[in-house]
Amino acid sequence: MQFDLTQEQTMIQQMVRDFAQAEIAPKAAEVDRTGRFPVETFEKMGKLGLLGLPISEEYGGAGADTVSYALAVEEVGCACGSTGLSYAAHVSLGCGPIYYFGTEAQKQTFLVPLAKGEGLGSFGLTEPSAGSDAGGTQTRAVRDGDEYVIRGSKSYITNASYARTIVVTAVVGTDDRGRNQIGAFIVPTDSPGFSVVRTYEKMGLRGSNTCELALDDVRVPAANLLGTETGGFKQFLYTLDGGRISIGALSIGIARASYEAALKYAKERVQFGQSISKFQAISFKLADMAMHIELARLMVLKAAWLKDNHRPFTKEAAMAKLYASEICMRAADQCVQIHGGAGYVQDFPAERFMRDAKLMEIGEGTSEVQRMVIARQIGC
Ligand SMILES: Cc1cc2nc3c(=O)[nH]c(=O)nc-3n(C[C@H](O)[C@H](O)[C@H](O)COP(=O)(O)OP(=O)(O)OC[C@H]3O[C@@H](n4cnc5c(N)ncnc54)[C@H](O)[C@@H]3O)c2cc1C
């Protein structure tokens, strides 16, 4: 086995770390407090080639592998959870489906600008009555000549207010057993009938944009259908498998930020005449945090490596996302605990980490859904 990163992976990791610490971290508290989406950060990330990092060069990307992308998401997420979530959603969910399933013409028209950083991408799967159970999708797409007419609504969609295109899932019919057949469509956000109904006020990740959408008889050319009319279900399952690697990486980023802040505070804070890091109760918490982060990173990078090597990675991506998100929540909780009262007030970032961490156990499939995926994969 080879545990060293390649020269290119190390270079990307270092470049993103330097950029994230210099440009993103100093704004993390402000974007959280104000709920401002940091557009200027994404412009800079586009110029650095980060918005198309794992997309091949022929489609405007940087041609890096999934391992490099996971390392990049960890660095961005460690600097700012909000920016990390919007970054991961743009690449894995906004670009991913078009890259994996798009025709050459779709890639040239819609993927190239996203990968070059000329606009953000977004993915609309969740609906008011279809969350964990995406089969319950109610948005419908009806063929009308050379167009599809899409009608419905979508909930909790990341980046939607700032997106150039959104890949939207919609029911196109039912199979012989009466189950919904779901297609996926590339919807330019300037299409008539498309609107952002509202932007949610969130517990955490407040600098990431999350919206409720309405599709009011939105007409898209039939050429905007991704893959086959009934292939949408399989497509989003594959897309979510890839997205889980990035949410795993983001979880490690937030866990690492929690650990680093807690370690620093524990060394500086003196009680009973010594640094609290000298108390075994505190040092064991820090030891567990360090161990969990290391283990989660190994699993995330393994899932990324499997994807890069065109091996099955559904089970590993679910395990990586599940484990990383749960140790992230735990690390953020312990970070608050180690800070004591200082952890509960906004003078320190600990409380933000805890609010940000919670989404990791919910987005891209809840922890319960990850366990369902793993159980299915092991033959239960
Ligand atoms: C900040 C944020 C960003 C998001 N970004 C996007 C995005 O860009 N695109 C997108 O499409 N969606 C997005 N989502 C939606 C997210 O993926 C869903 O919230 C998530 O999949 C859960 O769906 P739900 O909220 O409807 O919860 P529900 O499915 O209603 O689940 C509620 C609870 O029931 C449990 N549950 C459900 N079914 C089962 C079962 N069979 N067995 C056991 N337990 C079960 C769940 O685990 C959960 O604990 C985002 C959400 C948030 C909060």
d(CA 207, CA 32): 5
Classify burial at 123, counting beta carbons within 10 Å of its beta carbon; exposed 0-12, middle 13-18, buried 19 or more: buried
84 and 11 within one domain: yes
144 and 49 within one domain: no
What pLDDT, on a 0 to 100 scale, did the predictor assign at position 246? Answer: 98
CB 243 within 8 A of CB 158: no
What is the domain-level CATH number for residue 18? 1.10.540.10
> How many whole angstroms from 361 Cα to the centroid of ligand 1?
9
What pLDDT, on a 0 to 100 scale, did the predictor assign at position 326? Answer: 98
CB 259 within 8 A of CB 330: no
What pLDDT, on a 0 to 100 scale, did the predictor assign at position 232? Answer: 82
132 and 227 within one domain: yes
131 and 254 within one domain: no
What pLDDT, on a 0 to 100 scale, did the predictor assign at position 91? Answer: 98
What is the domain-level CATH number for residue 359? 1.20.140.10
195 and 149 within one domain: yes
Task: List the chain pLDDT tens, one digit each, 380 residues.
Answer: 899 999 999 999 999 999 999 999 999 999 999 999 999 999 999 999 999 999 999 999 999 999 999 999 999 999 999 999 999 999 999 999 999 999 999 999 999 999 999 999 999 999 999 999 998 999 999 999 999 999 999 999 999 999 999 999 999 999 888 888 999 999 999 999 999 999 999 999 999 999 999 999 999 999 999 999 888 888 989 999 999 999 999 999 999 999 999 999 999 999 999 999 999 999 999 999 999 999 999 999 999 999 999 999 999 999 999 999 999 999 999 999 999 999 999 999 999 999 999 999 999 999 999 999 999 999 99
* Nearest protein Cα to ligand 1, atom 26: 131
Classify burial at 214, counting beta carbons within 10 Å of its beta carbon; exposed 0-12, middle 13-18, buried 19 or more: middle
* pTM for this prediction: 0.98
Does 2 reside within a domain?
no
Residues of the domain holding 252: 234-377
CB 259 within 8 A of CB 286: yes
**What is each CA distance from 82 to 10, 71, 156, 204, in whole angstroms?**
24, 17, 14, 8
Does 216 reside within a domain?
yes
70 and 157 within one domain: no
Does 341 reside within a domain?
yes
> How many whole angstroms from 350 Cα to the centroid of ligand 1?
25
What pLDDT, on a 0 to 100 scale, did the predictor assign at position 175? Answer: 87
251 and 171 within one domain: no
Tokens for 373, please give them: 């995926």
What is the domain-level CATH number for residue 175? 2.40.110.10
Of 214, 231, 248, the residue at which a domain comes to its end is: 231
> How many whole angstroms from 104 Cα to the centroid of ligand 1?
32
The finding on whether 89 has its CB within 6 A of some atom of ligand 1 is: yes
d(CA 67, CA 300): 9
311 and 244 within one domain: yes
User: For residue 55, which of 118, 123, 112, 6 has the smallest C-alpha distance?
Assistant: 112
165 and 67 within one domain: no
Q: Which residue among 37, 90, 91, 126 is best mutated to probe the pocket of ligand 1, counting the most ligand atoms within 8 A of its Cβ?
A: 126
Cβ neighbours of residue 265 closer than 8 Å, sequence gap 6 or more: 338, 339, 342, 348
Distance in angstroms between the alpha carbons of the first and the last residue of the chain? 30
Q: Please report where in the chains the tokens 């949610």 appear, as a residue.
A: 200
98 and 189 within one domain: no
The reply to whether 43 belongs to the active site is: no
